[in-house]
């Protein structure tokens, strides 16, 4: 028998790479037992990544969830692990040092043993505190090499990066192949190089299966010395998720490695329960396309884990774009057309943006920039005519050092807009905040929780925590779920044979009961959008035909907000605005875009409501 | 740069592993050019397998198709290959020697360069004539090792089998991993063993991707010396089909091998055209589930290529079984439940049946036996209570030597039924027939075609050829397609979130025009089955309540026929039948099952029409 290889079930990532939500705590606790009974896992990924935030989003307490879900594994002697984003901890933008430090302490006390830390730019500076704080909190510190594929992301580059992390005190190295585009033999060379630097360091391979390399990569990594391989289980394995346990297990056994046997009865129980959760509510947030392998992902190199949100974005953008195309008598695009254009644009802009590894949140930034570019260029506008502040910050160095160089074009654009490049330590840009938040919670009469875990959540996800506290999150979620369930029972008008179904939906009115409070919900769909009825009317009329009013149109599709935070004042009728003023915000593809007025005047009508979904070219304001 | 590796696009198998039909000749010719332009293929699989028969099935001439479709590749210097089934040539049951010989001659003259021959039992005797006739016809003779996974199908077993084939004169060896369950490292050892026997023999790896091994297997096969790897292209790659070109190409390049570059513009054209064909009509015959990977296939070892028909069978059987369950107040089964029961039963019966490799047609036999067993046992009947003659013939040795031993149970059952085991050469069981058929064609005034290709088709697929000649095939196909197109536009009543859609369909009447002739078609669906209305009525009544009539019920779901061939007389009202008499036939899962009366009496009513689809437990006959 050969060397013993460990398996890690990344149950958290399985869900997050499939759709929007995670199972509820009662469901997680139910599936923990058969996962343990399978008898083949050394580790289980329980939380981190979007787990905590997702709990808040549907109105549940992530602290209760995490403690209950890690407990059975702690009891069974199976190590639990979480994913965290370094500088961004468990969210998409930087977190203060004191919050980061508290997080590792809380998570260890909640039952999570290992912290898998990554920096999306592979800038080791950003992981130094993760390593120190994880160890201080009592966790095992695992750090990641985020695998991306470009002419500068070579085998030697990654081995050197691993060495930096080891020198900073990282106890384990994860090969985080989040797009599954690491080339198998090269990945083996990287693992071999790490083992050469430090033979006893634990190496864990984490791959997604999208483009079809992951099984081969698992074998190559193990041959080169990797100790643990991450796997998924049916019905969420393959596609944008990870390779299936059964396949990886067989390949490694056939290659002569020693692995614990699988209790197949327990496997089938896990499979059945997971399907039950999908049928319960999670399936309403899973794009069936995420189950497909897709070799076209090789060229753009985007992570499978973001394909869910990407396809949703694409669908919305396609509707929006085709509306414009129709209005302008241009040929309509299919979803495939737009996808291919997007992939091409990703390949074009990625080097210009300095080759940030295609991992959250930078994969979102690159994809977002590419998609906005495509949308703008399809409508005859210039590339880069819309670029959000977060993406700028990344390019300016505020998230860490980029692996490559930002293009001259973008440097010039930065100079034009008065934006400055930053060379310092990004973690110094965010001031500590726990004292202030603790005081605030105190004043509200809120408990900071066991081990300050409620304080941590408030600090990590302030808005979501407030929405969770107020019951709004749960109400919104229940409303959305009810809407999706209602949609399911409305007839389709057209289908593509054998592959796809496009739905045409009629308006509905439903009542939702949340914590005893009754909500009346009017549901509308696509072309019958009641909220968009104003703009529907005006869009048929020629520009300026509406009396002598000028219109400011939405530059992209998304959720519109009149203000970004409570300190701002919303624009209202009678306000005078100048061309270039920020007049509202559109949240699209996980990024908030400031919308600037393209003409000056006095507001005659505010055509939008805070938080509503709009298409691009919908009228935002009418000006005198 | 390392050794040069060739790629073969198995365009024929891509379609056949996806669904029922192949593109029409006009479509094939259209896609040939961009396939050539891709610039990366040494070979293309153009025909063989089900290709010829499928053309007849939808009313097209396979000879015209094959000549037109191979021509561009012949002109471009890309080798074309076909799959043939040894003893069974291009069909599912044995073919006379003179027909086999003619086939290789005709196919070479039609433009096919390489004959990939396999025997489903890996009995080299059955391939001796394929090798001789292929070479005599001017083709390159490639023979297959059909990869299956069991305790008797070891690395050494396969190397020995390859040696037998090489000794018989095989010019190339194909590792035919039709279920994709060959374990990668073991496959590498097999290839290495073959190359040790004969270092200059060409080895081609052909794997399906279903359980997720295929990319790894391709790499291991190449490392061990394989010369060519079979690949598919989007949108038909992965799932039950083959690994995608792009992925295999990248893995091999990264491993240091030399491969020609891919013209991506041409790739996208092939992809777009292939999608166009799907949208045109082929998608109506593709189960979307075939696009999914499925690690549960590892244990039963069934080929991905038959998953399409398996899922269709399963769906029909499930309806039928659940009808019975409902009637008997038992809990209904889901498609998943039935699939898992089927897989378990395959694992149980396979050793008993002597471990025939799970390849067409034996995979069908094993799956069929397992499915019938599951259906019977779910209803409280015994295992093996229904076993068709073809499966018996295989177990008795009439198809060649089984790799394993038939179980004592089945040997006893054979003895009970007076069935005798056969040790001779199976090819001697089928007398030559070309002279007779040529005479018959002559008498009908039919042309035997260029190079006798029409004679060949008539000899290979007599019934389908007659239906093609009469126009019935085309009419049936057009009717079926029209029905599917109509179904597509009827609303569903229930859906499973995120994954699946179950359709409830209303009755429809349509008109179809075939070659100028007008057909009025009444379509009915499932519960509204007009043809099943009789049995619907009676099934509600208690047995024998219908006057004093006894009923003979259908033992399984399928297409019912009163006679098997024109020499038989159909049972009719007034006929006296004895218990045990064959009274009709049910074609199910590609096998014709004789139905025996389970009671004696005089026929009072014939409740079936020739060729109609029935559920099990539908009334076949009523007896006095």
B283, two tokens:
């998608």
The reply to whether A295 falls in a domain is no
Q: For B454-485, how does the pLDDT look when each residue is reduced to its tens digit (9 = 90+)?
A: 999 999 999 999 999 999 999 999 999 999 99
CB proximity under 8 Å: B 216-275 to A: 216, 219, 234, 237-239, 243-247, 250-251, 254-256, 264, 268, 275
Check residue A538 and give its pLDDT: 30
B478 and B556 share one domain: no
Please list every residue in chain A whose beta carbon sits closer than 8 Å to the beta carbon of residue B150.
none
- Kindly indicate the confidence band of residue A560, based on its pLDDT and cuts at 50, 70 and 90: confident
A278 contacts B497? CB cut-off 8 A: yes
Whether residue B186 and residue A254 make contact (CB cut-off 8 A), yes or no, is: yes
Q: Is residue B492 located within the same domain as residue B579?
A: no
Extract the tokens encoding B501.
């859609």
What is the model's pLDDT at position B26?
Answer: 98
- Specify the CATH number for the domain of residue A534: 2.40.50.100
Residue A156: closest CA among A125, A119, A117, A196? A196
Question: Residue B346's Cα: distance from chain center in Å?
Answer: 17
| For residue B45, pLDDT beyond 50 | yes
Give the per-residue pLDDT at B289: 79
Q: Which residue among A272, A289, A306 closes a domain?
A: A289
What is the DSSP annotation of B340-351? HHHHHHHHHHHH
Q: Are residues B376 and B484 in the same domain?
A: no
pTM passes above 0.90: no
The residue with greater pLDDT, A597 or A187, is: A187
Mean pLDDT of B386-405: 92
Specify the higher pLDDT residue, B297 or B380: B380
In a domain, B408, yes or no: yes
Q: Are residues B344 and B417 in the same domain?
A: yes
Confidence of residue A449 (pLDDT cuts 50, 70, 90): very high
CB contact under 8 Å between A284 and B484, yes or no, is no
Chain B residues in contact with A243 (beta carbon < 8 A): 212
Smallest CA–CA separation between A495 and chain B, in Å? Answer: 7
Q: At residue A316, does pLDDT exceed 90? A: no
Residues from chain B that touch A499, judged by Cβ atoms under 8 A, are 278, 283, 286, 288
Q: What is the mean pLDDT of residues A261-265?
A: 92
Q: Are residues B403 and B488 in the same domain?
A: no
CATH number, domain at A130?
Answer: 3.20.20.70
Q: Number of residue pairs across A and B with CB atoms under 8 Å?
A: 169
- The alpha-helical segments, DSSP class H, found in B505-581 are 533-540
Cβ atoms of residues A84 and A117 within 8 Å: yes
Chain A residue closest in CA terms to B495: A488
Report whether pLDDT(A584) > 80: yes
Same domain, B390 and B485: no
pLDDT of residue A509: 40
Residue B485 sits in the same domain as residue B606 = no
Selected residue with higher pLDDT from B491 and A298:
A298
Q: In what order do the strands lie in the sheet with A550-553?
A: A550-553, A619-623, A601-606, A576-577
B588 three-class SS: strand
pLDDT at B522: 40
pLDDT computed for residue B177 by the predictor: 95
Using DSSP's 3-state secondary structure scheme, residue A29 falls into helix
Q: What is the mean pLDDT of chain A?
A: 87
Distance from CA of A593 to the nearest CA of B (A): 30
Write down the number of H helices and E strands in chain A: 21, 20
Nearest to A402 by CA among A437, A443, A357: A357
Q: Which distant-in-sequence residues (6+ apart) come within 8 Å of A569 by Cβ?
A: A563
Q: Which residue of B has its CA nearest to A212?
A: B247
Question: Residue B594 has what pLDDT?
Answer: 81
CA B283 to chain centre: 18
Task: Assign A566 a pLDDT band (cuts: 50, 70, 90).
Answer: low
Domain residues for the domain of B494 are 473-519
pLDDT at A500: 30
Work out how many domains chain A is built from and give that number: 2
A53 inside domain: yes
A282 touches chain B (CB under 8 A): yes
Per-residue HEC secondary structure of A354-421 comes to CCCCCCCCHHHHHHHHHHHHHHHHHCCCCCCCCCCHHHHHHHHCECECCCCCECHHHHHHHHHCCCCC
B329: Cβ–Cβ under 8 A, 6 or more apart, which residues? none
What's the average model confidence in pLDDT over B57-72? 97
Over residues A425-429, mean pLDDT: 91
The whole-number pLDDT of residue A610 equals 79
Sorting pLDDT into bands at 50, 70 and 90, what band is B42?
very high
Optimal mutation site among B2, B155, B183, B216, interface A, most CBs of chain A within 10 A:
B216
Q: Which residue, A241, A171, A221, is CA-closest to A10?
A: A241
Q: What pLDDT score was predicted for residue A247? A: 97
| Strand, helix or coil for residue A526 | helix
Work out the pLDDT band at A517, boundaries 50, 70, 90.
Answer: low
pLDDT of B513 > 70? The answer is no
* pLDDT > 70: percent of chain B: 88
Query: In whole angstroms, what is the distance from residue A317 CA to residue A622 CA?
Result: 24
Residue B335, exposed/middle/buried by CB under 10 A (0-12, 13-18, 19+)?
middle
Q: What is the pLDDT of residues A118-163, one digit of tens each?
A: 999 999 999 999 999 999 999 999 999 999 999 999 999 999 999 9
**Omega before B235 within 30 of 0, i.e. cis:** yes
Strands (E), B356-506: 494-496, 500-502
pLDDT band at B242, cuts 50/70/90?
Answer: very high
Percent of chain A's residues with pLDDT above 90: 65
Q: Is B562 found in the same domain as B490?
A: no
Least confident window among A1-5, A402-406, B142-146, B559-563: B559-563
Assess whether pLDDT exceeds 50 at residue B542.
Answer: no
Instruction: Please identify, among A244, A268, A289, the residue that sits at the C-terminal boundary of a domain.
Output: A289
Region of poorest pLDDT, from A220-229, A529-538, B614-623? A529-538
Whether B551 maps to a domain, the answer reads yes
> What is the model's pLDDT at position B225?
98
Banded model confidence at residue A539, pLDDT cuts 50, 70, 90: very low
Looking at residue A570, what is its pLDDT? 86
Specify the pLDDT at position A585: 87
Q: Which of A219, A275, A340 sits opposite B216 (nearest CB)?
A: A219
Helix, strand, or coil here: B623? strand
* Same domain for B570 and B502: no
CA nearest neighbour of B231 among B241, B221, B217: B241
Non-local CB neighbours of A523 within 8 Å, separated by 6+ positions = A483, A486, A487, A507, A508, A509, A510
Which residue in A has a C-alpha nearest to residue B186's C-alpha?
A254
Confidence of residue A492 (pLDDT cuts 50, 70, 90): very low
- The confidence score (pLDDT) of residue A305 equals 60
Distance CA A364, CA A362 (A): 5
**Pairing status of strand B228-231 against strand B494-496:** unpaired
Looking at B244-253, B568-577, B613-622, which range is the least confident one?
A: B613-622
Q: Which residues of A touch B212 (CB under 8 A)?
A: 209, 215, 238, 243-244, 247
Same domain, yes or no, for B539 and B504? no
Taking CB atoms and an 8 Å cutoff, what residues of chain A touch B288? 498-499
- Mean pLDDT computed over B436-441: 97
Say if A295 is an interface residue toward chain B (CB within 8 Å).
yes
Tens digit of each residue's pLDDT (9 = 90 or more) over B174-195: 999 999 999 999 999 999 999 9
Beta pairing class for A172-177 and A202-207: parallel
pLDDT of residue A465: 96
Give B547 or A421, the one with higher predicted confidence. Answer: A421
Instruction: Tell me: pLDDT of A473 over 80.
Output: yes
Boundary residue ending a domain (A229, A255, A289): A289
**Does residue A218 lie in a domain region?**
yes
Does residue A14 sit within a domain? Answer: yes
CA-based nearest distance B112→chain A, Å: 30
Tell me the mean pLDDT in the region B141-160.
Answer: 96
Tell whether the model's pLDDT for residue B113 goes beyond 60. Answer: yes
- The answer to whether residue A205 sits within a structural domain is yes
Shortest CB distance from B295 goes to which of A244, A275, A295?
Answer: A244
Q: Give the distance from residue A489's alpha carbon to the nearest chain B alpha carbon, in angstroms.
A: 7
Q: What percent of chain A has a predicted confidence (pLDDT) above 70?
A: 88
Which pLDDT value is given to residue B304? 62
Q: Which of A18-27, A316-325, A456-465 has the lowest mean pLDDT?
A: A316-325
Can you tell me the mean pLDDT for B74-98?
A: 95
Residues B484 and B514 in one domain: yes
The 10 Å CB-count burial string (b at 16+, else e) for B578-616 is eeeeebbbbbbbbbebebbbeeebebbbbbbeeeeebbb
Lowest mean pLDDT among A53-62, B386-395, B403-412: B386-395
pLDDT at A496: 30
Which residues on A lie below 8 Å from B499 (Cβ)? Answer: 278, 283, 286, 288
Mean pLDDT of chain B: 87
Say how many C-beta atoms besides its own lie within 10 A of residue B451's C-beta: 17
Whether A427 maps to a domain, the answer reads no
Question: pLDDT value at position A481?
Answer: 94
pLDDT for position B506: 28
According to the model, what pLDDT value does residue A504 have?
25
Q: Which pLDDT value is given to residue B253?
A: 98
Question: Between chains, do B295 and A340 touch, taking CB under 8 Å as contact?
Answer: no
Other beta carbons less than 10 A from residue B315's beta carbon: 14
């Amino acid at each position: 028998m050969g060397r013993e290889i460990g398996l890690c079930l990344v149950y958290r990532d399985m869900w997050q790479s499939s759709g929007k939500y995670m199972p509820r705590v009662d469901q997680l606790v139910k599936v923990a037992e058969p996962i343990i009974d399978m008898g083949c896992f050394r580790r289980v990924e329980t939380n981190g990544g979007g787990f905590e935030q997702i709990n808040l989003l549907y109105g549940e307490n992530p602290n209760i969830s995490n403690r209950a879900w890690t407990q059975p594994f702690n009891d069974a002697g199976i190590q639990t692990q979480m994913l965290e984003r370094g500088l961004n901890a468990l969210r998409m933008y930087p977190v203060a040092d004191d919050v980061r430090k508290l997080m590792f302490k809380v998570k260890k006390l909640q039952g999570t043993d290992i912290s898998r830390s990554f920096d999306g730019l592979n800038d080791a500076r950003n992981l130094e505190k993760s390593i120190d704080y994880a160890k201080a909190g009592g966790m095992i510190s695992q750090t990641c090499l985020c695998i991306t594929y470009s002419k500068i992301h070579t085998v030697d580059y990654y081995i050197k990066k691993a060495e930096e992390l080891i020198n900073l005190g990282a106890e384990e190295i994860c090969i985080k192949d989040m797009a599954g585009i690491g080339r198998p033999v090269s990945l083996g060379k990287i693992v071999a190089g790490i083992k050469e630097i430090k033979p006893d360091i634990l190496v864990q391979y984490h791959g997604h299966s999208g483009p079809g390399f992951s099984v081969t990569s698992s074998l190559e990594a193990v041959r080169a010395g990797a100790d643990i391989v991450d796997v998924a289980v049916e019905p969420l394995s393959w596609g944008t998720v990870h390779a299936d346990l059964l396949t990886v297990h067989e390949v490694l056994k056939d290659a002569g490695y020693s692995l614990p046997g699988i209790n197949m009865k327990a496997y089938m129980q896990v499979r059945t329960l997971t399907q039950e959760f999908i049928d319960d509510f999670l399936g309403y947030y899973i794009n069936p396309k995420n189950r497909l392998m897709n070799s076209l992902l090789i060229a753009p190199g985007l992570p499978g884990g973001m394909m869910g949100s990407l396809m949703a974005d694409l669908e919305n953008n396609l509707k929006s774009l085709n509306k414009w195309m129709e209005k302008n008598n241009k040929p309509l695009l299919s979803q495939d057309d737009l996808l291919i254009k997007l992939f091409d644009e990703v390949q074009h802009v990625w080097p210009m943006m300095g080759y940030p590894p295609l991992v959250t949140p930078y994969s979102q930034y690159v994809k977002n920039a590419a998609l906005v570019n495509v949308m703008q260029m399809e409508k005859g506008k210039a590339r880069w005519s819309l670029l959000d502040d977060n993406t700028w910050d990344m390019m300016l160095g505020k998230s860490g050092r980029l692996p490559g160089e930002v293009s001259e074009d973008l440097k010039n654009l930065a100079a034009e807009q008065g934006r400055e490049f930053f060379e310092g330590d990004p973690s110094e840009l965010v001031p500590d905040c726990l004292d202030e938040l603790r005081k605030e919670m105190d004043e509200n009469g809120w408990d900071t929780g066991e081990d300050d875990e409620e304080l941590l959540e408030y600090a990590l996800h302030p808005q979501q925590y407030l929405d969770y506290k107020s019951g709004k999150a749960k109400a919104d979620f229940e409303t959305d779920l009810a809407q999706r369930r209602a949609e399911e029972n409305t007839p389709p008008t057209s289908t593509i044979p054998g592959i796809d179904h496009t739905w045409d939906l009629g308006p509905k009115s439903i009542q939702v009961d949340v914590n005893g409070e009754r909500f009346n919900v009017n549901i509308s769909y696509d072309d019958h959008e009641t909220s968009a009825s104003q703009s529907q009317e005006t869009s048929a009329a020629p520009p300026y035909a509406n009396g002598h009013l000028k219109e400011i149109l939405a530059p992209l599709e998304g959720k519109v907000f009149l203000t970004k935070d409570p300190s701002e004042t919303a624009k209202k009728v009678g306000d005078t605005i100048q061309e270039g003023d920020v007049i509202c915000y559109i949240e699209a593809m996980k990024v908030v875009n400031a919308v600037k007025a393209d003409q000056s005047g006095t507001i005659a009508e505010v055509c939008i409501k805070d938080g509503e979904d709009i298409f691009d070219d919908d009228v935002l304001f009418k000006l005198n």
